[in-house]
Amino acid sequence: MNFIKRVLSTVTGIFVFLIICFIGIILIGVLFGSNDDQVIKVKPNSILDLKLDFPIKDYAGKTIFADYPFLNDDKKNGLFNIINAINYAATDENIKGISIDNNFLDAGISQTKAIREALLRFKESGKFVVSYANIYSQKDYYLSSVADTIFLNPAGLMEFKGLYSEQLYYKDFQEKTGLKMEVVRLGKYKSAVEPFLENKMSDNNREQVSIFLNSIWNEIKLDISKSRNISVERLHTIADSLLARNPDLAKASKLIDKIAYHDEYINGMKQAVGINFKDDLKFISIEDYAEYASAELQNYSIKNKIAVIYAQGDIIYGEGDETTIGQGVMNRSLKAAREDDKIKAVVLRINSPGGSALASELIWREIELTKKIKPVIVSMGNVAASGGYYLATNAHKIIAESTTITGSIGVFGILPNAKELADKMGINAEQVATNKNAVTYSLLEPFNDTQRAFIKEGVVSIYELFTKRVSQGRNLTLEQVESIAQGRVWTGADAVNNGLVDELGGLDLALQRAAELAEINDYRIKEFPVIEKDLDKILEEFGLLKSKETILQETLGNENYKIFQEIKNLKSKQGIQLLFPYSTDIK
């Protein structure tokens, strides 16, 4: 009886605790909701603090909590919020300059280039841009190289050494564990499944990785060369010999201007602003200023709109969310844009390595329906490859950054097989079937010739459909498509030359082309998708519940967690895939 009482007491306690939590959430929502009318103010003689040490997404996301509207969130710290804020700061008399201070930039190469170009436009206003770091990572330096003056701590470090990409291979792991992946692929450059088949990188794969890495590195060197007035050849020598690895070498190589402590950096800005050294500088963070600029830039008197629909992350068959592309959220967004009379054109911003072939085709169809009614322009981000390129083929025009990774027109099918693992553990699977092909797949049985033939048939069919979509969308013959397909990866600069992309530029150019096709001059932007979240997400966001993924990330650390996530993602990609061959984490 006492045991039952204790159990009931525990259950009651948990129930009361949950009620208190819900009340707490409501109170927090009311408190935060009451601040909606507060306006961020920019004081005179302010400096925009461009601290970008948070993960930068193209689209920060708009989140709707159906049952808790006071928790709705419309973030303004996405890539284009940051760019718009920098653009607006150039005209804001209260902003005297920009400080890039001790960043550890968490963004892709193309995103970094887009922010860098916004800083170059800002400098045309005559206002200053300065940069300081204790440690300059290579990506941080690429961004900071636009600055009028670049500072490095006397005890600091600098990384300028060229790019590399790393791929994990699992063949020996599969042999040792008995857990294997059954693979069928089409395209000699389609290397997404190569780690399951080989112990080392193939010559074809190494060739394409080398080509696109060198292409991106050349773009970076060219940009730095223009900003720092150092020849591209000299920059290559500096990287080869690590001639910027410490402050003295970095200054001698002319990659930085001053070796100084942080207080000296601050005093330099005080002098530039024209205030007394005893007074404090007025900083405003880029996140706060982006929110302020977003409100200032809104002009509700303009009736015409252009929809910007963000497709970021892996393509999955299903709903999708702020980190994955599913036909659910994408097709609802396309349909909403298509049926809104005030929306005159659609810009599809793609930042995706691809994924599910079926989901890609379903989204392609929705783009086709939209394209018949309104202009559709694609803007490519860091990567728009394989399934990401599949989506792009149906646009009226494709705009890419020179450093965008695209193409990868190839297909593979992959299924896990644990037959050898089961044998080692003493497990045997037996099937009973009514027809000879009833067992199309079993985790505990190897593929037979018939099953493999069926999978290959599907892969061939999808590849033929993929190349057909490219041929029709890009006005190329099938022979021309085949010569640039086979799973091969291209940079945006190369893709312009081979016909996969129309022009080089960012989202601003894509919007310009969309307005031209829609024959409108003035417009405002409406962003999609809007993501709905459930109760688990609410609890997780408020720290009342941690997901197992959050716990793993905290336990393993960011770098180890990325490796874990990569293995997990590869294992989960069953069926026919249109996927970029390797990690887009260029180092």
Q: pLDDT, tens digit, for every residue of 231-258?
A: 999 999 999 999 999 999 999 999 999 9
Q: What are phi and psi of 323, to 5 degrees?
A: -115, -5
Q: Of 113, 190, 305, 397, which residue is the catalytic one? A: 190
For 535-545, the pLDDT digits (tens) are 555 555 555 44
Cα separation of 59 and 277, whole Å?
A: 39
93-107, 165-179, 425-439: range with highest mean pLDDT: 93-107
Q: What is the mean pLDDT of residues 177-186?
A: 84
Exposed/middle/buried for residue 513 (C-beta within 10 Å: 0-12, 13-18, 19+): buried
Domain ranges in the chain are 46-161+242-293, 306-579
pLDDT at residue 18 in the model: 56
> In 10 A of CB 529, how many CB atoms?
24
One fold for 46-161+242-293 and 306-579: yes
Check if 190 is active-site: yes
pLDDT at residue 547 in the model: 52
Q: Quick one: angle between helices 449-474 and 357-371, nearest 10? A: 20
pLDDT at 373 over 60: yes
Give 34's pLDDT tier (boundaries 50, 70, 90): very low
Cα separation of 185 and 191, whole Å?
A: 9
Q: Of 99, 144, 379, 386, which residue is the catalytic one? A: 386
Check if 386 is active-site: yes
Give 446's pLDDT tier (boundaries 50, 70, 90): confident
pLDDT at residue 57 in the model: 94
Higher pLDDT, 40 or 393: 393
Query: Which residue bears the tokens 């916004």?
Result: 118
The per-residue pLDDT of the chain, averaged, comes to: 87
User: What homologous superfamily is domain 306-579 in, according to CATH?
Assistant: 2-enoyl-CoA Hydratase; Chain A, domain 1 (3.90.226.10)
Mean pLDDT lowest among 273-277, 340-344, 575-579: 575-579
Q: Peptide bond before 375: cis, by omega within 30 degrees of 0? A: no
pLDDT at 309 over 90: yes
Q: What is the mean pLDDT of residues 488-508?
A: 96
3-state SS, one letter per residue, for 206-263:
HHHHHHHHHHHHHHHHHHHHHHHCCCHHHHHHHHHHCCCCCHHHHHHCCCCCEECCHH
Tokens of 257: 């201007």
Task: Look at domain 46-161+242-293 and name its CATH class.
Answer: alpha beta
7-16, 177-186, 196-205, 285-294: range with highest mean pLDDT: 285-294
pLDDT at residue 30 in the model: 46
Tokens of 10: 């525990």
Q: What is the mean pLDDT of residues 53-64?
A: 86
Q: What is the mean pLDDT of residues 157-184?
A: 90
Higher pLDDT, 60 or 253: 253
Q: Residues near 141 by Cβ (< 8 Å), separated by ≥ 6?
A: 158, 159, 160, 224, 255
- Which is nearest to 348 in space by CA: 379, 321, 320? 379
pLDDT at 86 over 90: yes
13-22, 184-193, 363-372: range with highest mean pLDDT: 363-372
User: What is the pTM for the complete model shown?
Assistant: 0.83
- The answer to whether the beta carbons of residues 515 and 521 sit under 8 Å apart is yes
Q: What is the mean pLDDT of residues 556-562?
A: 59
Cα separation of 142 and 567, whole Å?
A: 30
